[in-house]
Homo-oligomer: A and B are copies of this chain.
């Protein structure tokens, strides 16, 4: 499988291949003997390690600084307990040699990878196609790199991938994991738990028992509160017959948003609820359904901007004016959509980036965990991030 087919039907090559002086600089001394391209080579063919500048080791730093490896190590790791004079000497040596610690070696002994896996299941999901994904990643990245941790991204697409990821997580290559977009019976949390890998979940897990599982730490936006806000707004502008287009009801976010709607309309007509699928198309279909069932509706809360855009289209086609005849509120505030619909969408905004950041922070805290033995001992707990209404033109 790793046979790696060479491009097969490759698109047009951009440049004619020519013999260019390569300085390839492969620093892998062990690589199979690289054939020398005959042409004037700068350094090609160097089989022996000394070829490319061998990476300086702690040993060499110590030597240059005239101290022991141990002391050099101390300096590199903060320099606590090392006399200033020596510390400076070592630092100078580090500088001069351009020394960079070999993480693999360090990891081998500390058992700390300084790396966290970000596992995204179902890349087809909206988490992936929406800007959500990037925003999440950005938040995570910011938090992680502030703590000098790396982010290893793992995308799960099919069953085999689960195996792969499971093996990876078990492999001890990362110190923790951020798990995303899990469907109800996702094996990932269990895998992680089994190998003792700390993790934080993105979005409220929905499987049975999850709620009461103290070990399950997750971050989710306040979907329910957001749903309430949306309906509240519609009511506040005088709408009385408010429908909702939900997301797929096997997702907790959909469920929660619907619950928010129900919170304010506890005995609403079931006919005012239609299930969509988070796509514009689905939103349109749901809207049409709603219109057929309750032509008198004057407000709609769509559980996503994408669905709202589809709904808008259907409403327009049906000759309803927005917001005059029917007011519409979306959810997510995906600017690409909400700011550009006709009219611009009033929607519930969630701070995705913040969620990502929070997840990372929670995980990090969990990792450094045990550092607070005296305190109440409870590790981090789940967090719900706030949502807020962004009023534009549609409601």
**Residues of chain A whose beta carbon lies under 8 Å from any beta carbon of chain B:** 1-7, 10-35, 37-38, 45-49, 51-52, 55, 76-78, 80, 98, 100-105, 107-113, 115, 118, 123, 128-131, 133-134, 137-138, 141-142, 145-148, 150-155, 157, 161, 164, 167-168, 170-173, 193, 195-196, 198, 214-215, 218, 220, 222, 280, 306, 309-310, 313, 336-337, 339-340, 342, 358, 361, 364-365, 368-371, 373, 376-379, 381-386
* Of A45, A102, A154, most B-chain CB atoms within 10 Å: A102
Q: Is the interface of A mostly helix, strand, loop or mixed?
A: loop
Question: Contact between B369 and A102 (Cβ–Cβ < 8 Å)?
Answer: no
- Asked if B15 contacts A381 (CB within 8 A), the reply is yes
Q: Min CB distance, A224 to chain B, in Å?
A: 11
Which residues does chain B contribute within 8 Å of A17, judged by CB atoms? 377-378, 381
Known: A167-B100, A378-B18. A2 touches B147 (CB 8 A): yes
Q: Are A342 and B342 in contact (CB under 8 A)?
A: yes
Q: How far is the CA of A22 from the CA of B376 in the complex (A)?
A: 13
Q: What are 7 A-B residue pairs whose CB atoms fall within 8 Å in the complex?
A: A2-B147, A3-B148, A7-B361, A12-B222, A12-B384, A20-B214, A24-B379
* Contact present for A215 and B386 (CB under 8 Å): no
**Given the complex of chains A and B, what is the CA–CA distance between A181 and B310 in angstroms?**
32
